Amino acid sequence: MENLDFRIFDLSPIPMWIQDYSGVKKIFDQWHLDGIEDIKAYILEQPSRLLPCLATIQTTRINRSTLKLYEANNLEEILANFAKFHFEEITLPQAHFFAGLWEKNDDCFFAPINYTCTGRQIDVQLRAHVIPGYEDTWEKILLTTEDITPYQHARRFAEAIFMHSPTALWVKDCHKIKQCFDQLRQKGITHLDAYIEQHPDFLRQCFELTVSKNVNEALLHLFKLKDQQDFDRHIQSLYAQNNYQNFYYELMHLWNGQHDLQRESEYTLKDDAVIFVVEQLNIFPDAVESWSTIQVAYTNLTERKELENHLKYLSQYDQLTQLHNRTFFNEEIVRLQTKKVQPFACIYMDLNGLKTLNDVQGHHHGDLLLKRFANILIDTIHHKPYSASRVGGDEFVILMPYATELDALSLLQEIENRIVLENSHDPRIMISVASGIAWTNEHENIENLIRTADQNMYIVKKNHYKIRPY
């Protein structure tokens, strides 16, 4: 270098080094002569192979900014403390750095942690350039050392917030999906839902284009997974449930240009446990055009859902018999009437003698009788699209959508047969029921039909009490 160059070098505000890498170059050349054709692959396969190379590096000059950065008075002081901020363990970025030099990359850099001569930790970014004229020997390499400590502190702080956030977070790269969507639009596809219906495997193909970038501890805990690798192995099976329906809604929002999505989803975990979550999808502002950084936040709703389901159960089921209650019965009538279900049938039933049993033997025996009869109804309509409700103290109704008179008569016969069987097993308190049926062949309005079934039941009940006054 000319003296003028050294003056510029010395006065540069950027910390700079001139180092001799000729020993490194000789080792690389020898590897090449020994038949190692891909030096980069050789280094990356086992980065520790660089250790003999590092021992050959010599520092010939540094500038004033370097002394200031490393809090040193001279080069000798830095070299004397070299072991404090350079370690023998070779990192993968460092291996890429040396491989880049061999491949004559224009910009070779990596970001190690160093220590100043006073022991203070600093984060630096080293960039290397072979000085013109020394390309064959690497005798003069110019290195710049940028202090990126504030940036790295901020990055680590952000990573810590991400990793330890109580909200489950998944960051993924969907840029290949964006490219796929762009190709579909170029082909004239305007309705993604219709395209997916014609090509059902498209959902799986799109999911496989997703690249998982990072997950935090809360997400691993939510899905009961060990680490990022465990998540990557199981994420597709989680999303493949219900034919990728959760992913389908996500794709539809992205296709329609909606970069924010919030919806409730359900997942079955490896241990078959079911969790309910709110998914919130957001595209990072600098990735709106590429979809290269998308974050999905999951809020666990499982406990709330379980409570809601329990409260719903309490509101719709009779606690004594476990049959539906009057509230469900009324709501179901409105639903069926609104849907204009045809044909329709119902069975109205009343337990005979319940009041007398309660008065003579006590309500405990009456409750046992109700439970026995309720179990008969539950078993009878099991796997059938009907509902059985306790609509009064001793009154029960089976609603039978899309059922005919023949269906109702057949079901009633099955109930009566089960009653006979139950009474043979426990003859101490016999089950006796008055029943009435109706069907929409006669009455189109469901409420009128139920009223008719009720009236038919009371005719039977009245006849029962003429024969037996209890």
Tell whether pTM > 0.85: no
CA proximity to 144, closest of 17, 309, 6: 17
What domains sit in the chain, N to C, each tagged with a CATH number?
Answer: 3-148 (3.30.450.20), 165-301 (3.30.450.20), 317-467 (3.30.70.270)
Res 248 pLDDT > 70: yes
Handedness of CA 59, 62, 66, 67 (dihedral sign): positive
Q: What is the pLDDT of residues 68-83, one digit of tens each?
A: 999 999 998 888 887 6
Confidence of residue 6 (pLDDT cuts 50, 70, 90): confident
- Structure tokens belonging to residue 393: 């103290």
Q: Percent of the chain scored above 90 by pLDDT?
A: 72
Residue type, 443: H
CA distances from 128 to 14, 109, 150, 154 (A): 13, 6, 22, 25
Q: What is the pLDDT of residue 185?
A: 95
Helix (H) or strand (E) holding 117: none
Residue type, 126: L
Q: What is the pLDDT of residues 260-278, one digit of tens each?
A: 889 999 998 988 899 999 9
326-339 vs 446-467: helix crossing angle, rounded to 10: 130
CA proximity to 126, closest of 31, 59, 76: 59
User: Which DSSP symbol is given to 188?
Assistant: T
Residue 175 has phi, psi (to 5 degrees) of -65, -30
Return the CA Rg of the chain.
39
Q: What is the mean pLDDT of the chain?
A: 90
* Average pLDDT score over residue span 318-333: 94
Please report the DSSP string for 407-451 in residue order. HHHHHHHHHHHHHHHHHHH-TTS---EEEEEEETTT-SSHHHHHH
Res 445 pLDDT > 50: yes
Spatial separation of the C-alpha atoms in residues 13 and 71, rounded to whole Å: 15
The residue to which tokens 């498209």 are assigned: 202
Res 467 pLDDT > 60: no
User: 66: buried, middle or exposed (CB in 10 Å: 19+, 13-18, 0-12)?
Assistant: buried
Confidence of residue 470 (pLDDT cuts 50, 70, 90): very low
Considering 228-242, 354-368, 403-417, the range whose residues carry the highest mean pLDDT is 403-417
Cβ distance 108 to 77 under 8 Å? no
Cβ distance 88 to 51 under 8 Å? yes
* Average pLDDT score over residue span 169-184: 96
Confidence of residue 88 (pLDDT cuts 50, 70, 90): low
Q: What is the pLDDT of residue 3?
A: 44
Q: Where are the beta strands (DSSP E) in 174-332?
A: 211-215, 260-268, 274-283, 294-300
Spatial separation of the C-alpha atoms in residues 323 and 283, rounded to whole Å: 48
Spatial separation of the C-alpha atoms in residues 162 and 155, rounded to whole Å: 10
Q: What is the pLDDT of residue 322?
A: 94
Spatial separation of the C-alpha atoms in residues 346 and 443, rounded to whole Å: 11
Q: What is the pLDDT of residue 289?
A: 93
Residue 5 or 199, more confident: 199
Res 85 pLDDT > 70: no
Q: What is the pLDDT of residue 84?
A: 59
Q: What is the pLDDT of residue 69?
A: 94
Q: What is the pLDDT of residue 300?
A: 95
